[in-house]
């Protein structure tokens, strides 16, 4: 995967030739990961190039899925090009979204209420039943197999064991729960992927994980990030209430447990498990999250 300017410039030339575009590589996106770059053309149109070696199996269908949810009013940017190079690098180019991320914006109740309105547009969209996030929720929240996140959390010692116990108590009434499967799920709805300007939502970016399931998962994904950002009690209550209203407190609790346990698994998958103190900080945040989930 290209990570420096010159190889990425070569990739942009390939994209232009393959898709009839005229973009020039400008710079790496300051808030993005290693695979996000700013492009522009002679007319001043800006776009974002995303490079990801793990998305080849979905590159053919994702542009159609994005078009479908955009047509239903979901404000994610249009995909201008997508494909895979001979060396296996997958890429896509999307329209630039103005504003700054919610993470860097002044967080207000009005902005979050607008975001809730956006999430509610996901109801019933069911864009891709073959990529159903409710299966992920069940595996993470209730699974206890070798590769499930509960055993990983348990290995972290007393704090990890206590976290599992808290979520087991929260989920005890819901072990026979049937999770909804017919909403759109963004799949990575955190405050870095919501763009804002003048207190309004200008777009929701990074929709590569888009699939079907229950939109309660996106609320549950958003909530701990807002807690880390220091959101007000009114904002936290609004998001928690909206998450519970999707399909009841049991579904929202299961989604919250899935988010919590998968946060631990992600640290292992990212190779960050040897960073000093990383798990202590994450577990402290997740215990706070568990408290918020159980609040009235």
Tokens 């895979």 belong to which residue? Answer: 84
Question: Of 99, 76, 31, nearest to 203 (Cα)?
Answer: 76
* Per-residue 3-state assignment (H helix, E strand, C coil) for the chain: CCCCHHHHHHHHHHHHHHHCCCCEEEEECCCCCCCEEEEECCCCCEEEEEEECCCHHHCCCHHHHHHHHHHCCCCCCCEEEEEECCCCCEEEEEECCCCEEHHHCCCCHHHHHHHHHHHHCCCCCCCCCCCEHHHHHHHHHHCCCCCCHHHHHHCCCHHHHHHHHHHHHHHHHHCCCCCCCCEEECCCCCCCCEEEECCEEEEECCCCCCEEECCHHHHHHHHHHHHHHCCCHHHHHHHHHHHHHHHCHHHHHHHHHHHHHHHHHHHHHCCCCCCCCHHHHHHHHHHHHHHHHHCC
- Rounded mean pLDDT for each run of 10 residues along the chain, 296 residues in total: 86 97 93 77 96 80 96 97 91 96 95 98 96 96 91 93 97 94 98 95 96 99 98 98 98 98 90 83 96 92
Position 270 scores a pLDDT of 83
CA atoms within 13 A on the CB side of 70: 16
Position 220 scores a pLDDT of 99
Q: For residues 184 and 213, what is the distance between their CA atoms, to the nearest angstrom?
A: 6
Position 31 scores a pLDDT of 64
Q: For residues 203 and 124, what is the distance between their CA atoms, to the nearest angstrom?
A: 20
With the C-alpha atoms ordered 267, 169, 134, 220, is the resulting torsion angle positive or negative? negative
Question: Of 19, 13, 15, 53, nearest to 33 (Cα)?
Answer: 53
Q: For residues 183 and 189, what is the distance between their CA atoms, to the nearest angstrom?
A: 14
Position 33 scores a pLDDT of 52
With the C-alpha atoms ordered 131, 113, 121, 62, is the resulting torsion angle positive or negative? negative
Position 272 scores a pLDDT of 83
Position 56 scores a pLDDT of 76
Kind of pairing, strands 79-84 and 46-52?
Answer: unpaired
Give backbone dihedrals phi and psi of 281, rounded to 5 degrees, phi first: -65, -40
Q: For residues 219 and 215, what is the distance between their CA atoms, to the nearest angstrom?
A: 7
Tokens 């590769």 belong to which residue? Answer: 147
Position 257 scores a pLDDT of 98
**Where do the domains of the chain lie, and which CATH numbers do they carry?**
5-95 (3.30.200.20), 101-294 (3.90.1200.10)
Position 190 scores a pLDDT of 95
Between the alpha carbon of residue 4 and those of residues 31, 35, 92, 206, 265, the distances in Å are 16, 9, 17, 21, 29
């Amino acid at each position: 995967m290209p990570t420096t300017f010159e190889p990425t410039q070569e990739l942009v030339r390939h994209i232009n030739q393959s898709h009839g575009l005229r973009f020039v590589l400008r710079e790496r996106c300051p808030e993005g990961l290693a695979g996000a770059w700013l492009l522009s053309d002679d007319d001043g149109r800006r776009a974002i190039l995303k490079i990801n070696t793990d998305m080849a199996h979905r590159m053919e269908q994702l542009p159609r899925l994005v078009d479908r949810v955009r047509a239903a009013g979901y404000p994610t940017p249009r995909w201008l090009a997508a494909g895979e190079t001979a060396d296996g690098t997958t890429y896509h180019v999307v329209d630039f979204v103005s504003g700054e991320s919610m993470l860097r914006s002044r967080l207000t109740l009005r902005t979050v209420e607008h975001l809730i309105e956006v999430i509610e547009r996901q109801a019933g969209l069911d864009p891709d039943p073959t990529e159903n996030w409710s299966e992920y929720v069940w595996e993470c929240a209730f699974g206890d197999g070798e590769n499930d996140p509960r055993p990983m959390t348990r290995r972290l010692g007393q704090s990890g064991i206590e976290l599992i116990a808290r979520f087991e108590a929260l989920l005890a009434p819901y072990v026979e729960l049937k999770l909804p499967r017919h909403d759109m799920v963004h799949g990575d709805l955190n405050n870095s992927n919501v763009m804002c300007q003048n207190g309004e939502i200008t777009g929701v970016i990074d929709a590569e994980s888009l699939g079907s399931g229950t939109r309660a998962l996106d609320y549950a994904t958003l909530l701990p990030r807002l807690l880390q950002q220091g959101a007000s009690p009114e904002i936290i209550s609004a998001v928690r209430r909206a998450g519970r209203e999707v399909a009841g407190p049991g579904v929202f609790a299961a989604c919250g447990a899935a988010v919590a346990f998968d946060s631990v698994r992600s640290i292992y998958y990212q190779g960050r498990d040897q960073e000093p103190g990383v798990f202590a900080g994450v577990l402290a945040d997740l215990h706070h999250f568990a408290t918020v989930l159980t609040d009235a």
